[in-house]
Amino acid sequence: SEQITVADLAQRMAVKAREVTKLLMKMGEMARESDTIDQATASLVVEEMGHNPVLVSDTKVEDDLQDAVDERSSNVQTRPPVVTIMGHVDHGKTSLLDKIRETKVATGEAGGITQHIGAYHVETDRGVITFLDTPGHAAFSAMRSRGAQATDIVVLVVAADDGMMPQTEEAIDHARAAGTPLIVAINKMDKPSADPDRVLNELTTKEVVSEDWGGDTPMARISAKTGDGIDELLELIGLQAELMELEAPLDGAAQGVVIESKLEKGRGAVVSLLVKKGTLKQGDLVLAGEHYGKVRAMTDERGQRIKSAGPSIPVEILGLPETPAAGSEFLVVTDEKKAREVADFRTNREREQQLERQNKMRLENMFEQM
């Protein structure tokens, strides 16, 4: 029979996947967002949430588009891992991202990383690693609620002088719900008050157990201030990526996810994309969320003009007429008519869903006032 993943279902209803897993739990079904459920259960969820089920014919437009992209992809190769850094406020997420950027990009190398495009990639002894540098659980959730699985590995930063905190636990829950493997970076090891064993202990209460203690979570002791342990952390990321055997077609139409987007005076929509499959080229016709346009210019995180970008590589592009939402999927299409058709279809659907949400809210408010 027909199956759908929880994440896909949530995306079709334009609700957070977490809302669906919660509801399923209430219905007595434990399911993660990557799990599939059958059509009967899906219909129940849809009914329960007060949406009209999306007709199969509605999604046909999208499926056809996807088929066209898949047809054109070839030459499957190992791809770099995409890493998101999470953790409690002030535990050192930004410092770690800065330190990696600073130490792994040879000084004097064309420009260094100067642009903030929402992600950057570095070369390590174990190959390229891409970091999303819009940390924060909100960004992670926003992407996932749109069904965009942009992150392969979560690095959880825990300050050795502070230990496990509420947002540490939240990050563990997020990673687990997404089925994303976790690597723990015990940070601020340079501080005299650092107590890594306490961190290890506290983490076991969330069933995050270090490999040293017989568990399966890789952990590195680091200082984002001095840089100590960062090579070891990168090594652990590389090893984890090897285990995961991450692959993507290198050739063919590009597909991926919008990391962030903004309007800039004189430049128009400036959109950061992470390529997941295929190779994105200057001049390509990109459909992102409800907007489409030709890639007029493309730069990397060093502000360098580039002509193409392959899997797991972040780029900033100009050429879209408006800003698509972070977490939207993008893909390259060959047919402008098709692009317009899908963009229109999505715009209409978005409008309908917004109306539905408003109606639902109105109803809820009415009940609350009674």
Residue 95 binds Mg ion (CB under 5 A): no
The yes-or-no answer on residue 90 being catalytic is: yes
244 sits in which H/E element: helix 230-244
The yes-or-no answer on residue 94 being catalytic is: yes
Size of interface with Mg ion, in residues (CB under 5 A):
2
Residue 223 binds ligand GDP (CB under 6 A): yes
The yes-or-no answer on residue 93 being catalytic is: yes
Measured distance CA(57)–CA(33) in Å, rounded:
24
Residue 94 binds Mg ion (CB under 5 A): yes
Q: Which amino acid is at 133?
A: D
Whether 6 and 32 have beta carbons less than 8 Å apart is answered as yes
Residue 168 binds ligand GDP (CB under 6 A): no
Asked if residue 94 belongs to a known ligand binding site, the reply is yes
Q: Which amino acid is at 94?
A: T
Active site residue: 70, 90, 228, 251, which one?
90
Measured distance CA(78)–CA(242) in Å, rounded:
9
**Interface with Mg ion by CB under 5 A: which range of 27-35, 91-99, 199-207, 300-308?**
91-99
Size of interface with ligand GDP, in residues (CB under 6 A):
15
Asked if residue 137 belongs to a known ligand binding site, the reply is yes
Measured distance CA(354)–CA(343) in Å, rounded:
16
Count Cα neighbours of 185 within 13 Å in the Cβ-side half-sphere: 34
Asked if residue 190 belongs to a known ligand binding site, the reply is yes
Q: Which of 62, 70, 90, 232 binds ligand GDP (CB under 6 A)?
A: 90
Long-range contacts of 173-180 (CB under 8 A, 24+ apart): 174/86, 174/137, 174/140, 174/141, 174/144, 175/86, 177/17, 177/18, 177/21, 177/32, 177/33, 178/33, 178/34, 178/140, 178/144, 178/149, 178/151, 179/32, 179/33, 179/34, 180/151, 180/152, 180/153, 180/154
CB of 95 to ligand GDP, least distance (A): 3
Residue 95 binds ligand GDP (CB under 6 A): yes
**Interface with Mg ion by CB under 5 A: which range of 92-100, 161-169, 196-204, 289-297?**
92-100
Residue 91's binding partner, choosing from Mg ion, ligand GDP, none, with beta-carbon cut-off 5 to 8 A by kind? Answer: ligand GDP
Binding-site residue numbers for GTP are: 87-94, 133-137, 187-190
Residues contributing to the annotated binding site: 87-94, 133-137, 187-190
Binding region for ligand GDP (CB under 6 A): 87, 89-95, 187-188, 190-191, 223-225
Catalytic positions, written as ranges:
90, 93-94, 137
